[in-house]
Structure formats: structure tokens, C-alpha cells
Chain A
Amino acid sequence: MNKNRATEEERTRALKPTKKPEVMERQRLPVRYHVEDYDVADRPRRFLEAFAVILRHSNYRFALEHFIRMSAKCSRCSVQCQVYLASGDLKDIPCYRSELLLGVYRRHFTMGGMLKGRVLGDSGLTDEMIEEMAESFWNCTACRRCSIECPAGIDHGLITHLGRYILSEIGIAPRALVVSVREQLEGKTGNTSAIPVPALLDTLEFLQDDMRETKGVEIEFPLDVEGCDYVFFPAVSDYLMEADTLMGIAAVFAATGDSWTTGTGYFDGINYGLFYSDRMLERIVKKVHAEAERLKGKNILIGECGHASRSAKYFVPTYCGGEKALPVINIMEYTYGALTEGRFRLDPNIVTEKVAYHDPCNIARQGWIIDQPREILKAFCKNYVEMEPHGENNICCGGGGGTVSIDEIRPYRTTIAGKVKAEQIRGSGCKYLVAPCANCKKQLRELVEDQKIDCEVVGLHDLIYKAIILENKN
């Protein structure tokens, strides 16, 4: 018996509808995530129109052309997908999911497909196919583990990404993400957690007081300082939920003495556009860069957050002038550099429990940040254990691709999407699970709670904060 496979009872619980039947009827969308009301008329035509426009203004077409010629249906991806391994549902195989969109592309955007459709009398895209895509693309956590396994190099993550983009243009995207982005781009507070600046100031003051009491040292959170080396953008939810992570980061800067600042004009690293709409992705990335430029910062520094880091690292150059754009680094890169240069010290006698490290997909899958956090942990954690597989082959927390923000699908995330991860954590026997990503932290906390695993999910800088040796310069 496959220990990763969800039981019938778990499947029933995970896949239970979350919406009232009348809502599903009105929206003609039998999916578990909530969607704002949208125009349900003539969906296939509007889907194809959006698809055509996106193809015209993007780089997707050449990839789709390549993928439809290469698709060999070998099913290798099935052994890597933690969703399929847990659900056992053949429709969760990445290659099948991709085919939902590739089939539409082949039928409506290639000469051969259009001719074949005409000859066979195939009317093409239907409402049912749109409904299936709407369900399927959000069952995926966009972790892209399947993509590294595909011999044909088909990037199922990219296809899901595009599928979500097209769906969102006809009004189908999880409300949780849309509402957050709306607040970030058009709301009064300008961030996804709707934190007004006075509340931010209060929080930072509170954190400074806390650090003074705990560590006996004055540690600052600089605000709106111009010309700093680093302009800091954490996932803004950290200000509400990850005080220890933020204090750890501030403590590292206090020790190194490098200049850094948070901008009150914009202080949110989260970019849910990455998960459902390239248009939103672009607008948010430009906001981040504009704030860093306003403050005349030299680098954009992203906090402990996988998707925020990836959005900035890979899309700041894309949307903000290529090589002219400000460099982007993740806080773990900074901390690792400072530690190896001997600019701060960590007490090796503080964290004695078993510690394991979870690789956030968005920073590990491409091999960007893998070794640095491990080296930091090994430098002061006596009892570091490695989970297998890890690094580029890591297993997703189960809440990737924005799904963690969709609270109504929590049973799905913790009984199916995160099932394989849960077994991996349990197997490691760790007491502290280090997850340097706001999304992973939230998901893994819910996962260990729902799966009843005795382990505490923390950030890397939470542990650094415990162990850092600070000198009282006063």
C-alpha cells in the first residue's frame, strides 16, 4: 500500500464542495475555491479571444509549438507529482493537466488542428472543458517538480501558469488572490495584508521594544532612509505573523552594520500576480522597483519568501529594464555572505533540537538558493538532519502556487496536496522545521496541525535570532 495515497475518507473530506449549490449554479463553476461573480455568457469564445491576445503579446507561442510536437505522454511526471501521488486521480498527472490547454491550442491555433476540427466536425472548446481547466489548474501547486523530470523538457508549470492567466482574463481566478492584489494595487493601504503605515510603524516599534528586552540591545528597523545598500521587502504578512523572522533579520543587520531600510511608500514583497495573471505580476514588480528607486537604494532585498523572491529575481530584470534594473537578492544570500565573512557569530549551544530544512520550490527548483541556508544552519545547529529528496528535487509544502492563500481549500491542501510532505516531515523526526518562505510557513503549520505531527515550523532567521551573539554597543 502506498503510504502517500490518501484514504477514501481523506479524499472525500478534501474534495468536498465549499460553496453553496446555488452559487455554483449561478457561476457555472463546480470548483472548490471561491470566485467573484463574472460574466458566464459565451465563455469559450471569450476564453479563445483572451488566449489569442495573450499569444500575440507574449512569448508563449513558441513554447506551446515546441510542446505540442514533443509531448510523448511517457508518464514519468506522474512519479514526481505529490498531488497525484496522494490523490491517485489520473487527472492529476501533470501531463494530463497540460494537455487540457495544449489540446485547445492545437485545435484552435494550429493549421492542422483547425483543418482536423473542420473535417471531423469537432466544435472545439466547450464550457465543460473550461470548467475542467478551472478545477485542474488550481489543484496544482505549481511546484514544477514535474518539469525537471520530463525527458521532453515540457514545462507543465509554465502551461498551468498560462492557463491560469487566460482563465483570469475571463474572470475565473480565486477570490482570495484577486482581493489581495486589488488591495495591493488599488487599495488605500497598498499591500496584500491591508496594513496601513501607522500600523506598520506601531509594529516595528513593538518589535524594537521586544528586541531591547530580549537581547538587551538597541536594534533598529530603519524607515525611508535614502541611499541604503538594501531596500527591504518581506512578505507583508510577516509583520502580522512572523515577528521572529523579522527580528532575526534586523539582528543580522545590527551585527553587520550594513545600511538597509523599509520604505513606507511600499513595503510588500508578495506578488500573487505570479500565480494567476502576468498583467498583475508586471504591475506589482514595477511597484517594488519604483519604491527601491524612490529611496535610491542599491539592491532590492527580499525577505523569507519563495514566490516573492522569485517574482523579484526573475521579473524585475524582465519588467524594469534588464541589466539596468536594480539587483535582487534574498535575505538568506545576504546572511550567508555576512556569516562566511565572519561579520556576526552564532552560539552553537542554543539550538540543540533536531532541525530540518524545507526548500521552498520557488527558490530551490532552479538551483538558485539551496546550499546557503544549510551552511548557515549547520554552523550553529548541532542536530541538523536532511530530508530526502531535497534541494532542486524537494517536495512542495502542498500550498504552492498561491493555493495556500485560499483558506476554503485547506482540507485539500493538508490531506492531499501536502500529504507526501507530511510523511517526509514525520520521517525526519525534526523538532524544528525551517521553512524560509511565508507561504510554506503558513501551509506547513496547518499541515503539521492537521496531520498531527509534533514539530514547530519556523523561519531561518527565527533560529538565527535565538542564537545570534550581539554586543551591546551602548
Chain B
Amino acid sequence: MQTLLELAQGPLFRLTFAIMALGLLRIFILDIWGAIEAYRKAGDKNIPWKQAIKKTLGWLFPVRKAFGSRPVYSLLSILFHTGLILVPIFLFAHVELWKSGTGLGWITLPKSWADYLTLSTIIFGLALFFGRIAVRAASFLSRKQDYLWPLILIVPFITGYICAHAGVTPAGYRFYMLIHILSAELIFVLLPFTKIAHCVLMPLSQLVATLAWRFPPDTDEPVAISLNKKGVPV
């Protein structure tokens, strides 16, 4: 168990974190590159930047926008995301690990906040899971990953909470810590290749949607030629 834990904490962590970081960087750059190319080719370069930025901020911080049509879902989703983002990054224990490993540290969450946020993430994650099953439209659209993600995401929160609180035996602690780390590493690896990629692509979404309607000029002829339709009547 100890060896496994050391493996998970050491090389496996570095490997999976690198996969995540590079993978996310890759798709982010691809998105930006695609947008630049699209802009370069666009016949109409008049882009309503202000509108796109406003919409982007509206969805990144969905204070007003989110509660229009599905308020319960929106609230659950926002609360879930809040814990999901804040706890892993600003938990005292995590920051300490970064500090000991890299020398870099940053502000941390007060312990009570971290506890509440951990519990709320677990509860709202489960609520989203059951909501997906219960809402007819959502369950119809859902793929396997849509059901699995809320469950996968709360595993490190549950195990982390147990390690931080429950009076478990040292063997029990090592077991839960191992699950905690391995589940987080699984998430790292899957992040760039699944819908959770939205964690880095979200800020580009409105820009992509806006740019996508800026078509390149003079595509009638090349398309017609490629499809052997040059001069063919309508």
C-alpha cells in the first residue's frame, strides 16, 4: 500500500498532471489557432468584440443570466462548480504540497470554508447526477460520460474529506488517500479528451460562435469545382 501510495504521489502524479496540462494547452492552442485562421480567411472582419466579451463574461460568472429558464439546475450547477474549482486549488493541504514541491504557494481557503465547499460539491454533484436521470430531456440526451462525470468528480472530494476528518486508522487513511490521489489522476488524464475540456475552452466559446458565421469569400467556385458542379444549373 505504501509503495502504491508513493508511486501515485510521485511519478504517476507528475505524469498525469503533465498529460492534463499539455492536453489542455494543446486544445486551447488549437482553438485559438482555429479562430485566428478563421478570422484571417473571413471576408467580413468586423467582429462585435464587445458583445462577444459580454456574453463570455455572462456565462463565466452566470449571476443574472443563468436563472432565467432552469433556475434549480443553474443553482446546483453553479454551486457544484464553485467547490469543484476552489477546493482543489486553494485547499491548505494542496497549497502546502505545491510549496514543498515547487516552492510556490498562494492564498488558501479557511478550513471551515473548505469543509463546507467539499460537502456542497459532493451533495450538488449527486444532485446533478440524479437530476440528469430524472429530467426527461436531459436523460434522453445523455451519454455514458454525462452520467459518469459527476460521480467521478466527487470521488476525490469524498475521500479527501474522509482523510481530513474521520478518525480512520493509519491503514484506512492510506487506503482513502490512495483512492483520493488515483481518482484525481484519472480526472487529470481524462480532462483534455472529454467534455470537461470546457474548463479551458469556455472563455473562447462565444468568440468561436461569432467567428463561425464569418465565412470566407468566394467559396462557391472552389466547392463547385471540387464536387464537379462547375456550371451545373441550380
Contacts and interface: CB of A to CB of B under 8 A. Distances in A.
- Asked if A and B are interacting partners, one says yes
A319 B217 contact: yes
Interface of A: 49-50, 53-54, 56-63, 65-66, 69-76, 78-80, 84, 90, 93, 95-96, 99, 112, 147, 149, 151-155, 158, 169, 178, 181-182, 185-186, 278-280, 282-283, 314-315, 317-323, 366-367
B195 A70 contact: yes
9 contacts: A58-B216, A59-B42, A63-B212, A65-B30, A70-B197, A72-B195, A90-B136, A96-B140, A320-B217
Contacts of B229: 169
Given A60-B212, A65-B34, A70-B198, A318 B136 contact: no
Contacts of A152: 198, 202, 205
B213 A158 contact: yes
A56 B226 contact: yes
A61 B34 contact: yes
Nearest to B135: A75
Given A58-B215, A70-B205, 12 more contacts: A57-B219, A59-B38, A73-B138, A74-B73, A154-B205, A169-B227, A169-B229, A181-B234, A186-B233, A282-B220, A283-B220, A318-B215
A62 B223 contact: no
How would you classify the secondary structure of chain A's contact residues: helix, strand, loop or mixed?
Answer: helix
Interface stretch (B5-13, B108-116, B141-149, B164-172): B141-149
Contact of B223 (A54, A71, A314): A54
B51 A367 contact: yes
Interface residues of B, number: 62
Contacts of B233: 182, 186
Given A53-B227, A70-B197, A95 B141 contact: yes
A62 B213 contact: no
B219 A153 contact: no
Interface of B: 27, 30-31, 34-35, 37-38, 41-46, 48, 51, 55, 59, 62, 66, 68-70, 73, 77, 135-138, 140-143, 146, 193, 195, 197-198, 201-202, 204-206, 208-209, 211-220, 222-224, 226-227, 229, 233-234
Given A58-B219, A279-B220, A314 B213 contact: yes
Contacts of A182: 233-234
B197 A318 contact: no
B69 A79 contact: yes
A235 B91 CA distance: 62
In the A-B complex, the 6 residue pairs with the closest CB atoms:
A153-B205, A62-B34, A63-B212, A318-B43, A317-B44, A78-B137
Contacts of A319: 43, 215, 217-218
